[in-house]
Structure 1
């Protein structure tokens, strides 16, 4: 079982390296994501020169005497070359495979969804009046250290993208405020947390309204972001934001590379065109974190 999964993902890796995706009728979404990745690489003058993949089965479910499901993780590493620069991109996929009589009949990414219709957070401006200086280096170092693991100092979730961003910002010196009102401020304390700490749509609303302590300004384009900044994603373009990522570097064309959790990724190109969640209606909000040393 593990060997067949490994061979499957080795074939996918070679498709990217050789720039020849092979259509799989069982999973058109991933085929189109592969195509978009190759198109993006071509536009960015980027190529994958080598890579590796590892597979770890986490659970086997017996559906019947002949039918089994395997829950597993696949860890991709791609060595990318852009102009004269090399950088290592990594991604963890949580997947579910189905085997019938030991033959692989289906394989796809596990679908995680943000849940809850949380209210838009209010902003408590009566706290955190002290000056805020954002340590971008410390925030980026945190994002690099924890992109693929859970820090036991915090509660972590199956859908952990925004919680991870909050941890990065806190590592950069952002102070919590608003406890214990879940719809106020930005905080995680005593096994409880604000919506803005853990939910993408609420974090975006918080950034749009916060005027003291941790705050951000919207910029027009991804090129204007720096390491330590945040991108919010509305995959469907319906006004509800689903995902957040953290900028850790810029590529040779001054475009952001991001780290993220839920679908754990490191040094991923910011646009997420190679995601199965991508749609032509996708919208982004680009947030530059500002502090009391920032110049407007």
Structure 2
């Protein structure tokens, strides 16, 4: 097993070099695979998109390094299946300063023993691509509950100040883990995470009985009553409607006019349904928003998501500015 783990770590070392050079040639040669191999082709595509994003931002990628944790190894003859969690950090030059972006990626890899050497045969990694395939995302959580389409909400009168610093602190604290006070969604945790940020910043919940199609709320469970939540708590499209039509949030045209604590919504297909949500936590030297998110946990990622497998030329964004007082 130790030799397999050593091969895995060498793979990620070469992978990190490829992020900076923009080429997978050395990785291909050392893996003794062909350019048509699916995992290598997908990785090359991701690296090219990352390089394109850096050029768009007029930034220079200087270094990539990963903390790799092997969760499990299952050996069957000369084939070993590995489940891996990678925390990858990109260091880049941003104008006159240096900045970092981080992400958590889950990998499932199959390694084959060939002439005494472990070679990568298959590799799959997590991505936002699953979100793009759903017109109305249906989240499955550890409770086994599901979601449904949204219906209009009534307004409410209780007002609270929206604390942007608290929203930012919460997003930076929990971007790479899960607050145990809330349900962890097994597939699309993005809007659940954003709702937690909003609540930590002072946005009040609004609940009318157990009607999940109304208000914005999360119920942690008590006694015989299990945990429950509104559709707007966990679904990107429903949250967007709630914020704009009930809270009084405004959609703005220029993303550079967003503030820390504002949100970006993503319609991957450009067909009018939002699939993903992020929160603004910083800005780069161009004034572009940097965002935190879950599903593929991301820290200070450029808001356009150009390097995401879910991004398409049809992708549309909604830049949502939260009011200072939420009523």
* Both proteins in one fold, TM over 0.5: yes
Task: Give the alignment partner of residue 52 of structure 1, picking from 51, 65, 71.
Answer: 65
- Report the equivalent of 1:253: 286
Call closer, same or farther: CA 1:7–1:236 in 2, change over 3 Å: farther
Match of 1:273 in 2: 306
Cα distance in 1 for residues equivalent to 2:62 and 2:207: 48
Residues 1:138 and 2:166 aligned together: yes
Please identify, of 24-33 and 217-226, the stretch whose mean Cα deviation from structure 2 is larger.
24-33
Give the drift of 1:162: 0.5
Contact 1:121–1:195 (CA<8 Å) still a contact in 2?
A: no
Q: 1:160 is matched with which residue?
A: 189
* Residue 264 of structure 1: aligned partner: 297
Deviating above 6 A after TM superposition, structure 1's stretches of 4 or more consecutive aligned residues are none
- The residue that corresponds to 1:106 in the other structure is 122
Q: Could you report, residue by residue, the CA deviation over 1:75-115 in whole angstroms, capped at 9, with x for unpaired residues? A: 11122211111122111001111123343111121355442
Please state how far the C-alpha of 1:245 moved relative to its aligned partner: 0.7
Equivalent in the alignment of 1:196:
232
Among 151, 155, 160, which residue is 2:179 paired with? 151
Task: Tell me, yes or no, if structure 1 residue 8 matches structure 2 residue 11.
Answer: yes
Gaps of 5+ in 1: none
In structure 2, the partner of 1:240 is 273
Q: Deviations over 1:197-235 (max 9, x none)?
A: 01112212222321x4xx411111321211101111122
Query: Which residue of 201, 204, 218 corresponds with 1:175?
Result: 204
Counterparts of 1:47 and 1:19 in 2: how far apart (Å)? 12
Q: Normalising to structure 2: TM-score of the pair? A: 0.81
Gap runs ≥5 in structure 2: 29-34, 132-136, 140-146, 222-226
Match of 1:226 in 2: 259
Moved more, 145-154 or 216-225: 216-225
Deviation at 1:240, TM superposition (A): 2.6
**1:138, CA displacement in angstroms?**
0.6
Q: CA deviation at 1:184?
A: 0.7
Question: By how many angstroms is 1:183 displaced?
Answer: 0.8
User: Cα offset for 1:164?
Assistant: 0.5
> Is 2:96 the counterpart of 1:96?
no
Q: Distance in 2 between matches of 1:232 and 1:21?
A: 32
Kept in 2: contact 1:6–1:54 (CA 8 A): no
Conservation of the 8 A alpha-carbon contact between 1:217 and 1:287? yes
Q: Which moved more, 1:68-77 or 1:262-271?
A: 68-77
